[in-house]
Structure 1
């Protein structure tokens, strides 16, 4: 069958045909070669008609961004996906994996705790101020003016400071040295 022959069918048949080929452990590139067309042509054709490729399967994305499974798989011991029905104005089938299912179950188990946090947040007093203390280096110099000076230092101390500056390359050496001197002065000048 060629791509032009396949395009003469309705979109659900086209999607089923391509999904069947993908389920037969064929890549979209191989399917495209068999149909005598480029992979991007197939992808663009299906995307324009509201289909998206999820887990090697083209799935229709509805008007309300609800996901509807066109070619649903049955649950088996080797298949880690499950079909569930979501009830709203229309009934939609959604394919989810084990991790998502476990996350939803975990959220359901902690429903009361989550509701408690949400209620606290909605009813909290906005006048209370929480000061966040951040660990790490803060450069808070009285002015940004710098001078050049020559100072003799202990070699071991300088090597340690130089190694320290290498760890924190986001700061320049001049600012780190100035902050170190300021902190020393504030600590011992009493």
Structure 2
């Protein structure tokens, strides 16, 4: 029998035949010679079919089944996410349209509540990252929590403006 004839059979028969020949010849190279094929062809073909060589036998590679299981779970999760997104597409589109038209340049002329007065120039809001002393930042957060009716960016901008006006050399 040649390799061409053998590989046309049921995978279980092929594996049994190869394993029996491995017991007999004790070398896949000799088995390949007997079947008139290179040993790497046998090995690669069986690996693709979900078998791996352990010792002097080919056995099912359970890792492939585990991978198929995990891929199936991931596929199901992706399908669920796509179905959810599809059902919410109108809401998603409306939020995206709202976000595209959102203008960060709104202006608060003067608001007085207690002793706080927000009087900022009419300009857009700059998003930036700064480094702040931790104690000062905690004090600011506490101050902002006590004045929740103001946006943090307005409070911070007003505090910065007042400090600049107070300490500017170009008064």
TM-score by length of 1: 0.33
Bigger helix fraction? 2
TM-score by length of 2: 0.37
- Name which one, 1 or 2, has greater alpha-carbon Rg: 2
